[in-house]
Amino acid sequence: MKFNWKNIFAFLFRNKDKIIEAAKPIIDQVEEIIDDIKKDKPDIPAPEEIPEPEEISDQSNHLQSTEKVWVWIEPSTVTALSLKKCGLNPQNCIITDMKGNTRNCKKMQKLGATVYLLVHPLYKQWQKGKTQALEDIRKVVDSYDGIVLDFEGPLRNAQFVEDLKQFGKPVVIAPKASAECLNDWGEHFKRLQGVDFLWWNYSYQLLDWQNFFMTYEFDKDSKHNVLLSIGRKYREHVIDQECLNIIENLEGIRVGVFQPKNDYAMTAEFAHQLQKPKPKNNET
């Protein structure tokens, strides 16, 4: 059989955008598989005895939280395969997508997941200034359930947070839970309305989180969640048993997962506790 290579190349060139878009989900899955192959199975240390934290009354000032579990992956996209590895049901999850992969977004929404566009200013695609960032969001935002901003770097900006509201989607910001952050932004956060919070600090123990939510004040209608890095990457700071302690005993605040691909196996170990119904702070 003789091929007309000129016509074949012309067809590929005309349809290159469609071909690239169709290949995105496959590329994402291959990246995850390669990532898994590169990593050896982690040694899970024996559970360590965790001392009981001091009792803190009126913990977290009766803050609200979401029913769903946040699953944050960067710089790629949370896929059905990655949730399966975590042992998490898509219907129980709020997931992130930094790539603007609207095809995967719709697929995950059909499975029951809530999908937020992730704006992360430490990655090149979001380092073109506030005006360009808003324009890039505008192109794809209609496909998403909301927008989440990693609150650091060049877009750590109060006006930019307000600008994100123009799209009519829920807005969440992800600041680092620390005294430094709250000294700089605490008064603004207290007055900020129509925005929810996704807090992270991968060295915080349960007592640190309890003290944090007791110390600072926020708008009473805002919702608050916590991201943990479970497993190998930050185990030297927060051991596995303490992660479980936070998931189970951080009163009224739903705990989610940062970069579960760092340790899918350990995340899956905690999947049941992560998805377990959590009493609200105003319930006894």
**DSSP bridge partners of 255:** 226
Predicted pLDDT at 53: 38
Q: From CA 104, how far away is CA 118, in angstroms rounded? A: 14
Q: Which domain holds residue 255?
A: 61-275
> How high is the pLDDT of residue 38?
46
Q: Is residue 23 part of a domain?
A: no
Say if 29 falls within a structural domain.
no
Taking alpha carbons only, the member of 269, 206, 272, 200 closest to residue 232 is: 269
Tell me the CB-side half-sphere exposure of residue 82, using CA atoms within 13 A.
31
pLDDT < 70 regions, the chain? 1-6, 8-13, 16-61, 280-284
**Could you tell me if residue 284 is inside a domain?**
no
Exposed, middle or buried: residue 138 (CB in 10 Å: 0-12, 13-18, 19+)?
exposed
Is the model's pTM score more than 0.85?
A: no
Asked whether residue 65 is assigned to any structural domain, the reply reads yes
pLDDT in tens, 10-68: 666 677 666 666 666 666 666 655 555 444 444 434 433 434 434 434 444 578 999 99
Supply the CATH number for residue 148's domain: 3.20.20.80
> Within a domain: residue 56?
no
Q: Quick one: pLDDT at residue 55? A: 41
Residue 154 lies in a domain: yes
* Number of domains comprising the chain: 1
Q: What is the pLDDT of residue 105?
A: 97
- pLDDT, residue 20, reads 64
For residue 28, which of 106, 80, 93, 92 has the smallest C-alpha distance?
Answer: 80
The reply to whether 230 falls in a domain is yes
- Best CA proximity match to 68, nearest among 283, 259, 277, 246: 277
Distance CA 63, CA 218 (A): 8
